[in-house]
Chain A
Amino acid sequence: MPTKLPVIGVSRREFLELTALGAGVAVLPAGCASSGPTFLTGTERSTLAVLADHVLPQDKQPGGAALGVVDYIERLMTAFEFTPPRIFADGPFSNRNPYPAASGGVASTQYPADAFVNFLPLDRVQEAAWRLKLYGSVGVPGGGPNDAVLGPQKGMRDILRDGVAALHAAVPQGIGKLSSNDLELQLLHLADFRALMVQLTIEGCFCAPEYGGNKGGEGWQIAHFQGDTQPLGNTIYDPVLSDYRENPNFPVSTIDPGPDPEPLDDQTIALFTSIASSQAP
């Protein structure tokens, strides 16, 4: 369990450290993904790790691989080997934030249990949809409902497996030695695989940690993002004052305190100047 401290009043840095600590401990038991059912081979895991870092590189902070993208993908690909399938985490709260106190407009020291570690049973429609997404038309009885009209649907598992195989065929020496540009050139021949890999990498970097990615909440730290905030939220209604108290470190109605942690740089400014000038009016 995370250290239980009232959050209102701690500094922005301290809060991020606190939420990171909470997220790190709240993650499903270490090794859960690798000790459970697996879909990916060792070679596939290595390749996907390189690609995860291609999408979000390692620097002073972790990249996609260190954030757990491969574990995130493994959990999704094996979702149906668990009961209930690991598709939708439960709610309403993780254990990263305390309840508000009954009065005073401050946080309490009471934290909810982490409901995100549990997964929800799927209904008939959700199960049909997710089996089709993961296994494709060939992997579900009767195929997809519109295979005859729109063509069969390829499942995520096959897109990943075939994509890695195609990359290995095209680059027998291994993609780890390619420059980022050369890797992009290879991926451009594998449009479906590239799109899926980027989607899954981004999800795995910035999802709730209970899904297996965003290790230690470090993806959220990269983005200066609080993550889930319930049940505390950013404001607390004080019934004595008949008004709200805002978290001074994450205010709603005023500008953030302190300096901007990472202001827009010249490249971003140039990019958005270009984008804005290309739009009408």
Chain B
Amino acid sequence: MATTTTNPKIIGNQSLTQFDVLIVGSGAGASATANVLTAAGKKVLMLEAGVNGYRNLDNSDWSKVSTNFSNDELKLLFRNYIMPHQEIEPRTYRQNESAGDRTYTGEVNSMPKTVGGAAVHADVKTPRFAPNDFKLGTLLGPIADANFADWPWTYDDLEPFYSYVEKAIGVQGLDGSDPFAGPRSSTYPMPPGVPMYAGQLISDGAKKLGYHPFPYPTAVTSRPYKGRPACNDCGFCGQYGCPIHAKCTPAVTLLRDALLTGNLQLQSETRAVKILTNASGTSVTGIQVIGPDGKLQTFTADRYVLGMSPIEDARLCFLSSTAGIGNSSGMVGRNLTFHFQTLAAGIWNQRVHGHRGRTVTHGISDFRGTPGDPNHPMGGVVEFGAPDNVIGEALDYFNQIGLIGDRLKASMRQSPLRDHLMVITMHAEDAPQVTNRVDLDPAVRDLDGLPVPRITYSNHKFELDARAFYGPKMVEILQMAGTQWAFVAPADPISISRHVFGTLRAGTDSTTSVCDATGKFHDLDNLYGTGSSLFPTSSGYNPYLTITTVGTHVGATMVSPDSPLSALPAA
């Protein structure tokens, strides 16, 4: 039996030893920031905790680039090739402080750790946030127990960066198809790919009810694009890494672009465990890591960027200082938001093979809502999505319904929960609350003996009302689409949404936010956040494009503070 050699743990320019910028994390925000910095000639060191799932990612010849990712349900979904293992990297949860130290230990909003970050597993839907999403503090006004805030950037500020990112990574979509979308200065780089059959059925149902379905903007190639092939609709999209690089994820787009400049060195299997600062705590002096061999090591640079994820970024701040690095505002770890997901399941009498295709090809923005309008509350985009593959399907029959034996086998043959099922999901705005936060669990530890993140989180009436308002309407859409059965699924008691925001909120007021409009920590002169940790609010749209856009803006501002647009490399 042949064996596979280990993919390189260090890629890019391995001769670099002095760095202008050190970025912790290699996902969407981190890669976007690195792309701009390296294009401007900055020498960048990137540290990634997870494994490198690519061979020759730093080779300029696409024919030499390959991957470990595959159509392998067992590896990706059940053996956790890139997902954290709860036995050694759990998180803990409690609804509020009065609940005690914790009420649950296990998976809480866990995201993959791997070169290229969590987006590797995503089906990479890329709607832009809408203009209103950047000023909800003003538009909604004070709401009891909520903490909405305006972003330090408007849609107009970010629009050129959105356009740049869409072209740089490759996005498919249909211009003008979503009447609720903001104005665009550029057309979609690629047209929509092959529509899923069940997505069309649901779109037809939505149209009959007066809604406005559109081909979902998605970072998946529908044409050969920048050396990568067109997607072939293999059916293993959401939750899988793409075997042919048709998903425009960070690893094969902006991260690879950065690697090819010769200005980036990426070290994987390297876990940041402490931010070192000067005595006054105003400047970072290094990042301490545990390397692939389990040994401590320290890396230095002139400037530092936290780009892991909102939960891990905040955790690192607290691992580094009891009070939290950069926490004079007391806001580090707070205003943690998710997308509050409402799922409605529709089952047809006939097979609709939702498992075949790109997971999601259609959706509506009609339920995003209007600030302050009680007849149109603020929910979120609704995507028409595919169900599990076969192992997940069989486990659902057993775990959710209790089927075993003959009826389990009959169900696998008839496949009501795979070949007949679609699930439509509303990613609703989650009202930010100061009390929803990340800190360190007082007793639960990871494999290295370090405190794990503890999530304290409870829902606000804001998102619960949106669920109550739109849930029945989602069922109506499925009924109109011809389903035999349609119903709203129970909400997860503990969020498992992979859409996570906040903890290093960006804002102009240093007493209420952690980072400023450049992404820099208010309290430190050389530490930055990037990506979704900076988001003041969650919006109601899939975040990948906006994470990448904000990460691009952070990098561009670091390069050219007075004229960030001028720092954008060629798309």
Residues of A within 8 A of B (CB): 28, 32, 54-57, 59, 63, 83-84, 87-94, 100, 115-121, 123-126, 128-130, 132-133, 144-146, 149-150, 153, 180, 184, 198-199, 202-203, 205-208, 211, 219-220, 222-237, 239, 242, 244, 246, 250-256, 260-265, 267-269, 271-273, 275-276, 279-281
Q: Given the complex, which residues of A lie within 8 Å of B196, measured CB to CB?
A: 252-253
Q: Which B residues are CB-close (under 8 A) to A265?
A: 410, 414
In the complex, what residue of chain B is closest to A226 when comparing beta carbons? B235
Which residues of chain A come closer than 8 Å to B444, judged between CB atoms? 146, 149-150
- A225-B390 in contact (CB<8A): yes
Nearest CB of chain A from residue B441's CB, rounded to whole Å: 9
Quick check: A267 and B70 within 8 Å, CB to CB?
A: no
Contact partner, B408, options A28, A55, A225, A239, Cβ 8 Å? A55
Residues of chain B with a CB closer than 8 A to A89's CB: 70, 72, 74-75
How many contacts between A and B, using CB within 8 angstroms? 282
Query: Are B229 and A59 within 8 A (Cβ)?
Result: no
Interface positions, chain B 214-244, Cβ under 8 Å from A, are 222-224, 229-236, 243-244
B131 at the interface (CB under 8 A from A): no
A193 CA / B89 CA spacing, docked (Å): 24
B347: interface (CB < 8 Å): yes
Q: Are B68 and A120 in contact (CB under 8 A)?
A: yes
**A-B pairs with beta carbons under 8 Å apart, 10 shown:** A92-B243, A145-B446, A206-B73, A233-B232, A234-B235, A239-B224, A246-B194, A253-B196, A264-B349, A265-B410
Closest 8 CB pairs of A and B: A233-B232, A91-B70, A228-B71, A129-B85, A92-B243, A237-B230, A279-B487, A276-B485
A275: which B residues are within 8 A, CB to CB?
401, 485, 487
Determine if A231 and B87 form an interchain contact, defined as CB atoms under 8 angstroms apart.
Answer: no
- By a CB distance below 8 angstroms, the chain B residues around A202 are 391, 394-395, 398
Selected contact of A124 from candidates B194, B293, B394, CB within 8 Å? B293
CA distance A229 to B74 in the complex (A): 15
Given known contacts A121-B5, A124-B269, A255-B197, is B233 in contact with A207 (CB within 8 Å)?
no
Are B232 and A232 within 8 A (Cβ)?
A: yes
Q: A225-B389, A235-B231, A264-B416 are in contact. List 10 more A-B contacts (CB 8 A).
A: A121-B6, A230-B244, A231-B243, A233-B235, A234-B234, A263-B414, A268-B411, A272-B485, A275-B485, A280-B487
Min distance, Cβ B259 to any Cβ of chain A, angstroms: 19
**A130 contacts which chain B residues (CB < 8 A)?**
85
Q: For the complex, give the distance between the alpha carbons of A87 and B68 in Å.
A: 13
Interface string of B37-55 (1 = CB under 8 A from A): 0000000000001110000
- Chain B nearest CB, measured from A111 CB (Å): 14
A33 to B433, CA, bound (A): 54
Q: From residue A137, how far is it (CB to closest CB) to chain B in Å?
A: 9
Interface presence of B560 (CB below 8 A): no
Q: Contact between B194 and A90 (Cβ–Cβ < 8 Å)?
A: no
- Is the pair B68, A91 in contact by a Cβ cutoff of 8 Å? yes
CA distance A28 to B3 in the complex (A): 13
- What is the CB-to-nearest-CB distance from A276 to chain B, in angstroms, rounded to a whole number? 4
The reply to whether A223 and B393 form a contact with Cβ atoms under 8 Å apart is yes
Q: Check B64 for interface membership: any CB of A closer than 8 A.
A: no
Q: How far apart sit A124 and B419, CA to CA, in the bound complex (Å)?
A: 39
Q: How far is the CA of A234 from the CA of B50 in the complex (A)?
A: 31
In the assembled complex, which residues on chain A have CB atoms less than 8 Å from the CB atom of B99? none
Q: Are A59 and B409 within 8 A (Cβ)?
A: yes
Q: Whole-angstrom distance between the alpha carbons of A18 and B235 in the complex?
A: 19
Within the assembled complex, what's the spacing in Å between the Cα atoms of A280 and B506? 39
> In the complex, what residues of A have CB within 8 A of residue B419's CB?
224
Residues of A within 8 A of B234 (CB): 228-230, 233-234
- Report the minimal beta-carbon distance from A113 to chain B, rounded to whole angstroms: 9
Q: How far is the CA of A219 from the CA of B389 in the complex (A)?
A: 13
Task: Please tell me if the beta carbons of A203 and B74 are within 8 angstroms of each other in the complex.
Answer: yes
Verify if B188 is at the interface (C-beta below 8 Å from A).
no
Q: Which residues of A contact B487 (CB under 8 A)?
A: 275-276, 279-281
Evaluate contact between B404 and A54: CB separation under 8 angstroms: yes
Do residues A229 and B445 form an inter-chain contact, with CB atoms below 8 A?
no
The one of A115, A228, A237 in contact with B229, judged by C-beta atoms closer than 8 angstroms, is A237
- In the assembled complex, which residues on chain B have CB atoms less than 8 Å from the CB atom of A261? 413
Complex Cα distance A248/B67, Å? 29
Q: Roughly how many angstroms separate A199 CA and B407 CA in the complex, as a whole number? A: 16
Q: Chain B 524-565 against A: per-residue CB contact (8 Å), 1 yes, 0 no?
A: 000000000000000000000000000000000000000000
A117 to chain B, nearest CB (A): 6
